Amino acid sequence: MAKIPKKKQAARQQIDRLRKYSLQDGLETILSSGYAKFDESVDVAVNLGVDPRHADQMVRGTCVLPHGTGKTVRVLVFAKGEKEKEARDAGADHAGGEELAKKIQEGWLDFDKAVATPDMMGVVGKLGKILGPRGMMPNPKVGTVTFDVAKAVTELKGGKVEFRVEKAGIVHCPMGKVSFGPEKLTENFKSLLESIIRLKPSTSKGVYLKGVSISTTMGPGLRLDPQEVRNLVK
């Protein structure tokens, strides 16, 4: 049996597993119990009262976090002509057409997010088996298949996150970095939860927001009080 490092044990001891924290107390606890030597991400997990096996209960969307994610996002845009220039002017790291598709088919993946204009989807569609499993495939439902490439690039660079409910009915999503502090993390948290609540399927019955927990990259998670969260984001 693997031995748990002392720092990790100490972090766990600071968290009451049976308690449901307020957001403020929860953030203060996970931030003060951190022990990593790098700027950890802060993540949220939301347990929803939906059954993702039914298409009409799928929860999927995006949210532009007010303070971003704290990560540098490399954006690739599939476009041609004026739209390619527009993408580069907006800050895209890579922009082009068939030549980029060929590089990707050869194994190149030096980017984090991909955007495409609708007229380029014939080219991009061939990359589905490569980009799909990595969550990098452009999709109109999350705003990454669009002629407004400047807006798409700006949002992705500025902290736009995508979320999608998993088979167990849980949404996992980053909401910032430890260095943000409680105030910025609270504002990001509210924006994200408001987006998730706004997307409640009409076919979802009973309690929609069943549970919420937050954690850092290396630290243990703690549970938040769902009722307090619901009141907070109304």
**Tokens representing residue 87 in the block:** 């993408």
DSSP string, 162-226: EEE--TTSEEEEEEEEGGGHHHHHHHHHHHHHHHHHHT--TT--S-SEEEEEEEESSSPPEEE-H
What was the pLDDT predicted at 35? 77
d(CA 156, CA 38): 23
pLDDT above 60: residue 169: yes
Asked whether 196 and 59 are in contact (CB, 8 A), the reply is yes
**Residues 187 and 168 placed together within one structural domain of the fold:** yes
Burial class (CB within 10 angstroms; exposed 0-12, middle 13-18, buried 19+) of 168: exposed
Q: Whats the size of the chain, residue-wise?
A: 234
Last residue of a domain, one of 124, 157, 190: 157
**Any domain includes 30:** yes
- How many domains would you assign to the chain? 2
- Residues spanned by the domain of 140: 75-157
**Any domain includes 184:** yes
pLDDT above 60: residue 4: no
Residue 108, domain CATH:
3.40.50.790
Last residue of a domain, one of 157, 189, 211: 157
Q: Percentages helix, strand, coil for the chain, rounded to the nearest 5?
A: 40, 20, 40
Alpha carbon dihedral 120, 125, 130, 133, in 10-degree steps, equals: 110
**Residues 151 and 86 placed together within one structural domain of the fold:** yes
Phi-psi region of 151 (alpha: psi -120 to 50; beta: other; left: phi over 0): alpha
**Residues 21 and 123 placed together within one structural domain of the fold:** no
**Residues 79 and 63 placed together within one structural domain of the fold:** no
What was the pLDDT predicted at 34? 79
**Residues 27 and 81 placed together within one structural domain of the fold:** no
**Any domain includes 192:** yes
d(CA 21, CA 33): 15
**Any domain includes 207:** yes
**Any domain includes 224:** yes
**Residues 36 and 87 placed together within one structural domain of the fold:** no
What was the pLDDT predicted at 46? 97
**Any domain includes 47:** yes
Instruction: Give whole-number Cα distances, 64 to 158, 169, 187, 215, in Å.
Output: 7, 22, 11, 20
- pLDDT tens digits for 124-134? 999 999 999 99
Asked whether 121 and 147 are in contact (CB, 8 A), the reply is no
**Residues 199 and 88 placed together within one structural domain of the fold:** no
**Residues 44 and 149 placed together within one structural domain of the fold:** no
Q: What is the pTM of this model?
A: 0.84
Percent of the chain at pLDDT > 70 equals: 94
**Any domain includes 1:** no
- pLDDT tens digits for 25-69? 999 999 998 778 899 999 999 999 999 999 999 999 999 999 999
**Residues 170 and 130 placed together within one structural domain of the fold:** no
User: What's the whole-number mean pLDDT along residues 2-29?
Assistant: 76
**Residues 64 and 164 placed together within one structural domain of the fold:** yes
What was the pLDDT predicted at 9? 61
**Residues 164 and 115 placed together within one structural domain of the fold:** no
Average pLDDT taken over every residue of the chain: 92
End-to-end CA distance of the chain: 45
Tokens 């949210």 identify what position? 63
**Any domain includes 213:** yes
**Tokens representing residue 16 in the block:** 């009451």
**Residues 63 and 95 placed together within one structural domain of the fold:** no
d(CA 154, CA 73): 11
Last residue of a domain, one of 137, 157, 177: 157
Residue 44, domain CATH:
3.30.190.20
pLDDT above 60: residue 149: yes
CA 211, chain centre distance (Å): 18
CA 135, chain centre distance (Å): 11
